[in-house]
Structure 1
Amino acid sequence: MNDSVTPPAAITLAPNERPTLKTIAQMTGLGITTVSRALKDAPDIGADTKERVRLIADQIGYQPNRAGVRLRTGKTNVIALVLSIEEELMGFTSQMVFGISEVLAGTQYHLVVMPHSHSKDPMGPIRYILDTGSADGVIISRIEPKDERVRLLTDRKMPFSTHGRTDMNIVHPYHDFDNEAFAYEAVKKLVEKGRKRISILLPPKKLSFHDHARGGFERAIKDFGISEVPMDHVTIETNLEETRNHGEQLMRSATPPDGFISISGSSTIALIAGFEAAGKKLGVDFDMISKQSAEFLNWIRPEIYTINEDVREAGRELAKAVLASIAGNPPAQLQSLSKPVWSRAFPD
């Protein structure tokens, strides 16, 4: 490839004019083909030329035209994050997006967030992506044991990763938090504090991490010989006012819990408000252990024992997994599980 240059032309872009390969070619004195190959890091383009082209591209804010890229390559350079609006608010969504973006920043891929209501049709966003070819890879959350989204993505050979695990005969990329270990360790901690009647606030039964947390909790209850005080219909997706009211009723009952485990930081605050409305004191009448996706509980209530779920790290792992899936790596090699880690701020 000939890297010889002609004197660069003076280029002035109109206020709303989009820089193109031709713009860079005119500013560098190179051919359009040479500019294109330099931006693609072609091995037959000199390092100095590549550096000069990239510098100009950065200075003028050049971005590849996605429609043109798709026509030439069949790819969109888009990763779609299908995120339910029911996800926990306390730091979950933003931290997930930050983590994914950190990994994609060094690639040609862009993140597109597709919010939707999981209570309507969880298959809708997946069908749209598949039917329109609007993404090269997909990240999904709120995984169910028998998740039809996973089945459809697998059948259509769309690279994807999931925040959570299924219980079906499909090996797929995922990252998950070990909620079974969290629930078991939480019960163990409460037993060490002398608590004997324990409640747990769980996700809805349809979600996979309900089964994992429930399994760890039941195993610990049996191992340590203590009793459960049921939470009835309340889950981490119950609205906060109802959660607060249920907490108050629970503490006014004849056999209230003296230990409590919550998988949602925001629900934890609502529960404690209800417990204290019933005249109970945190750290005296009951102990609370909560998982949190952002470190905030101990700032406002240092008496709470907390375990952090690093959702930003989850985003990074999910992005790495979907990129590796696009590259054709075996899905069995693209699975990761993070273990619970106690916050340094919890009281002794």
Structure 2
Amino acid sequence: MARKPGPPATLKSIAAEMGVSVTTVARALKDGHRISPEMVRKVRETAERMGYVRNLEGAKLRTGKTFVAMAFLGFSEEVGDSGSVGLLNGIHHRFAGTDYAVRAVPVDPGGQALDRVREVVRGRLADGIILDHTELQDDRVKYLLEEGFPFVTFGRTELLSDHPWFDIDNEFAAWQGTDALLRDGHRRIALIDGDPRHTFVRQRVRGYERALRDHGLEPDPGLRHHSEPAADIARQASAELLDRGADAFVCVNELAFLGARAGVRDHARADLDRIGFSLRSGTNLASYVASRVHASHFSRTRAGWALADLLLRVIDGADATSCQQLAKTELITTGDLT
């Protein structure tokens, strides 16, 4: 039977219906702080039955919050970017059921968008920020630390001041993928990776070179290509690396892998089935390619969820050192060794 129209449900009317205090109802509907799980359940069921809808405008006035979180993400236009889309999906999943709305801000991966970050802080356009593509001495992070503005980065820096971050163990991932190719018998393994000014790229180079030395090989600088990850650039780079004797490729992500594979296919003297590939992966794309691929995998959706979760904790006042997480990749190999 449909509920009869009437005055909108309020915290006071819910409290009166249940015979509890308004404070108990407010806490149960917010985060359950100092309220038993059973009481939280009863309050929320009653609120739903009575058709309660939180007045966010009133909450904004009372708290001074915007209930907006901004995610600064880089997107590729060449073949789409499942990585950033996956991150955003995870961020949305974590914020679902909270009062927060998420706004994605597309940024040029080649630029830090410091001016845009300043606009958000000065205009109080959000309560917190998620940053991607961190640098060793990241000006955005320095600025946010100085302003005391809540944020979390996808990736680490080398700043002296602690700050919240979530990161993949990129050194391990690159070591893992390179080691797998070496165990397949490849010896002239090329690295197609991002711009070295990004922290994660420096980490990946260390892992790649460590794996080569573990197998008694000295890294060849001529087998490394660095640029912003893009399929068209990787396609051209792979052809040049094949001319230098490359027999396998360690790729920074799915875009670089797709480009490198296309470049190998284009190359007149290359046998696609004899060339090895590994990549750092946040999706299942490699499993749809009809060749042997080693993927150092950690779900980008899980990464996005973790970033959003950390940001909520920072907004609530958690200490930076308690909001730092490092995740390991899982090696997933598809296809047969020919």
Q: What amino acid sits opposite 1:84 in the alignment?
A: G
* Structure 1 residues 270 and 86: alpha-carbon distance in aligned structure 2, compared to 1, 3 A threshold: closer
- Contact kept? 1:289, 1:304, Cα under 8 Å: yes
1:139 aligns with 2:130: yes
1:274 aligns with 2:282: no
Q: Paired residue for 1:173, among 140, 155, 164?
A: 164
1:202-217 superposed matches below 5 A: 202-217=193-208
Q: Secondary structure of the equivalent of 1:342?
A: strand
Q: CA deviation at 1:147?
A: 0.6
Cα distance in 1 for residues equivalent to 2:248 and 2:201:
19
Cα distance in 2 for residues equivalent to 1:232 and 1:47:
57
Q: Secondary structure of the equivalent of 1:23?
A: coil
- Contact kept? 1:39, 1:53, Cα under 8 Å: no
Q: Paired residue for 1:57, among 38, 44, 51?
A: 51
Equivalence for 1:3: none
Equivalence for 1:343: 332
Equivalence for 2:229: 237
Q: TM-score, normalised by structure 1?
A: 0.81
Cα distance in 1 for residues equivalent to 2:14 and 2:327:
51
Give ranges in structure 1 of 5+ residues lacking alignment: 1-8, 13-21
Cα distance in 2 for residues equivalent to 1:46 and 1:235:
51
Q: Paired residue for 1:69, among 59, 82, 86?
A: 59
Q: Secondary structure of the equivalent of 2:8?
A: helix
Structure 1 vs Structure 2 CA RMSD: 3.3
Q: CA deviation at 1:23?
A: 2.9
- Contact kept? 2:75, 2:81, Cα under 8 Å: no
1:292 aligns with 2:281: yes
Q: Paired residue for 1:196, among 181, 187, 195?
A: 187
* Structure 1 residues 287 and 223: alpha-carbon distance in aligned structure 2, compared to 1, 3 A threshold: same
Cα distance in 2 for residues equivalent to 1:46 and 1:127:
39
The runs of 4+ residues in structure 1 deviating greater than 4 Å are 28-31, 34-37, 45-50, 231-234
Give CA deviations for 1:166-207 in whole Å, capped at 9, x if unaligned.
011021111111111111122222221221111101111111
Q: Paired residue for 1:84, among 70, 74, 78?
A: 74
Q: What amino acid sits opposite 1:153 in the alignment?
A: L
Equivalence for 2:299: 310
Q: Secondary structure of the equivalent of 2:174?
A: helix
Equivalence for 1:24: 9
* Structure 1 residues 86 and 205: alpha-carbon distance in aligned structure 2, compared to 1, 3 A threshold: farther
Give CA deviations for 1:222-259 in whole Å, capped at 9, x if unaligned.
33222436356553524x334323322332x2x41112
1:153 aligns with 2:144: yes
- Contact kept? 2:174, 2:280, Cα under 8 Å: no
1:115 aligns with 2:106: yes
Q: CA deviation at 1:89?
A: 3.7
Q: What amino acid sits opposite 1:91 in the alignment?
A: S
Q: What amino acid sits opposite 2:332 in the alignment?
A: S
Cα distance in 1 for residues equivalent to 2:180 and 2:54:
53
- Contact kept? 2:192, 2:234, Cα under 8 Å: no
- Contact kept? 2:196, 2:226, Cα under 8 Å: no
Q: Paired residue for 1:130, among 121, 142, 149?
A: 121
Q: Secondary structure of the equivalent of 2:326?
A: strand
Cα distance in 2 for residues equivalent to 1:71 and 1:29:
22
Q: What amino acid sits opposite 1:183 in the alignment?
A: A
Equivalence for 2:32: none
Q: CA deviation at 1:35?
A: 8.3
Determine what percentage of the aligned residue pairs are the same residue. 22
Q: Secondary structure of the equivalent of 2:118?
A: helix
Cα distance in 2 for residues equivalent to 1:199 and 1:46:
56
* Structure 1 residues 197 and 144: alpha-carbon distance in aligned structure 2, compared to 1, 3 A threshold: same
Q: Secondary structure of the equivalent of 1:343?
A: strand
Cα distance in 2 for residues equivalent to 1:174 and 1:49:
35
